[in-house]
A and B are shown apart, each in its own frame.
Chain A
């Protein structure tokens, strides 16, 4: 008989504010073979893990069920805890009561609690039938692919190449640098982007480990960690690149206003990026008004784009530093000059006479054409009065938005995006540069609008993460492969046809013909299992017995309820 332990996580208030944890734990105690049920404030914390470990040892558990968040991010952590406590990691079962329960039934605590109980009953039912497994290893192609040749992609690729890892950088434009191609000076240090990009490009060009593909598009991606194949198309030809890991660094783009504030109608109204181009060519306006948060922090696009306040401060300073006769105002909703260096820029701007005015969404500023130029009419909250600002240039600080084709790329790589179209990492704190899909990494503004320093940090982090499987040369393959029971198998060959990997053949051993699965070719999809008419084919960790027991548990717990 199995000895099952159930550990229910509060996840702070994330789960506990909706699901009645105590009740669920009490319910779990009554499930078959459950010898102990406990709860933890944060099961994944150091403290939570060590208490689970102690409980496994103390209660001599041989099956462990954690009811918490999603196996897609946290399974490895709990499996490791099992191993440390001497329990094979395949004797662990994850029940998702956060993403699939607490978070989506916030207003129905009673039903959510019932549902959590049922999910746990199903998890325990499967856990009782789990079997220990041994893992195999597969080799890793020692090559990395970086998609996107902006600052982030360049940083990642240069780092990988410097480590001696063959790296392909795929950029769809004809030049490298991304957004920074139009941004000459970088705040807060006022360093030159040309120097930064130039240095990285030089490193790549000089490395025998780096290959840059310009004007190239990723059209297909197949495979798994260690064994991807990235198909790149460009200049009329197609190339298939085998790779062990993939880094996504496709950045973001500037939001183009849709006629707000007279954009497109009045030549005096430009975006921040246009101002960057003008300043770079020495075209410095005397009078300028910056309007912040144009198209962001409002219904439909609620987020703060994080870099626009600093960009406006930088450009306001570039104007007032070069032209003592200048008059610059920044109309904002809150100045987000995060970081000490940027705060210093804000101080300097104030000292040099840049005027800061605050507006609210209920009374947004107006740009009006007058005979001798344009006027920005703004209601100043502080003095409770309308203020007219005559100006030569109106700069709209618009947010960075996701690339138009980000969703297509997400589909190719099978990675998720958030509702604004930015790529979604596996976990914002625990796995910030990884996707939940192993072997695919994310960095830079493709993930969220990020400053130059942040993009470089993330680029390096992603490169470091991607180099781990490549350096090891091996990845552990999950023990979820299929195999047929020779005694049940009738050698009908249905599975042979069904397998997408040609991993199965009919063999004859000891006078018996049966379907034999090639372990290294099997990817663990389970297609053959459903094709088998005799229930002879089983997938490890997903046997028909295990899944049927989950269905039975659902039926039983529903019956008990009514």
Chain B
């Protein structure tokens, strides 16, 4: 059987983490091709519903990346992300989904290498978790 190759969705804020991902690209830092980025202006605009929608639709993992605390382009936006995402993890756990399928991390515009590391680690972790049990579930 071919090795499980997870599908991962990432939300990156325009100012730091998306720029960090760009820098990783410019620096040709290699990483697994499982990640698909949606650009948002700030990590604080990521609705919990998006995460739940992705997971219930079979996406194997969701990564939310923002600026480091204190660096959010919108001052305190990511403080909200930092509070909100753990709540979403709780909800996932509550319904029997491993909360590790959602990860929140901070990547600055100059951290191409950190972006590479976060993506690589997360892909590894989701591989360990195996396919999302919600895959293929018809609603």
Q: Please give me the residue from chain B that is nearest to A541 by CB atom.
A: B41
Establish whether residues B57 and A525, one from each chain, have CB atoms under 8 Å apart when the complex forms.
no
Cβ distance A426 to chain B, nearest Cβ, rounded Å:
10
On whether A103 and B57 interact (CB within 8 A), knowing A411-B71, A547-B40, A547-B50, the answer reads: no
On whether A530 and B27 interact (CB within 8 A), knowing A70-B22, A414-B73, A525-B73, the answer reads: no
Check if B59 is an interface residue, CB within 8 A of chain A. yes
B71: A residues at CB distance < 8 A: 411, 414
Residues 93-124 of A, flagged 1 when their CB comes within 8 A of B and 0 if not, give 00010111101111110011011001100100
Establish whether residues A531 and B19, one from each chain, have CB atoms under 8 Å apart when the complex forms.
no
Check if B89 is an interface residue, CB within 8 A of chain A. no
A501: B residues at CB distance < 8 A: 74
Establish whether residues A418 and B42, one from each chain, have CB atoms under 8 Å apart when the complex forms.
no
9-residue interface stretch from A195-203, A355-363, A552-560? A552-560
Check if B25 is an interface residue, CB within 8 A of chain A. yes
On whether A99 and B26 interact (CB within 8 A), knowing A414-B16, A555-B58, the answer reads: yes
B116: A residues at CB distance < 8 A: 104
Check if B129 is an interface residue, CB within 8 A of chain A. no
Check if B94 is an interface residue, CB within 8 A of chain A. no
Rounded to whole angstroms, the CA-CA distance of A105 and B28 in the bound complex is: 8
- Taking CB atoms and an 8 Å cut-off, the chain B residues in 102-139 that contact chain A are 108-110, 112-113, 116, 136
Establish whether residues B38 and A547, one from each chain, have CB atoms under 8 Å apart when the complex forms.
yes
Rounded to whole angstroms, the CA-CA distance of A106 and B30 in the bound complex is: 7
A436: B residues at CB distance < 8 A: 19, 22
Establish whether residues A527 and B7, one from each chain, have CB atoms under 8 Å apart when the complex forms.
no
B49: A residues at CB distance < 8 A: 535, 544, 548
Residues 206-248 of A, flagged 1 when their CB comes within 8 A of B and 0 if not, give 0000000000000000100000000000000000000000000
Which residues on B are within 8 Å of A, measured CB to CB? Answer: 5, 7, 9, 14-16, 18-33, 36-42, 44-50, 53-54, 57-59, 67-68, 71, 73-77, 80, 84, 108-110, 112-113, 116, 136
Q: A112-B33, A526-B44 are in contact. List 20 more A-B contacts (CB 8 A).
A: A72-B22, A103-B25, A103-B26, A104-B25, A115-B36, A122-B36, A407-B110, A410-B110, A416-B23, A416-B109, A418-B23, A418-B27, A419-B112, A424-B23, A500-B75, A525-B45, A544-B47, A551-B59, A559-B58, A559-B136
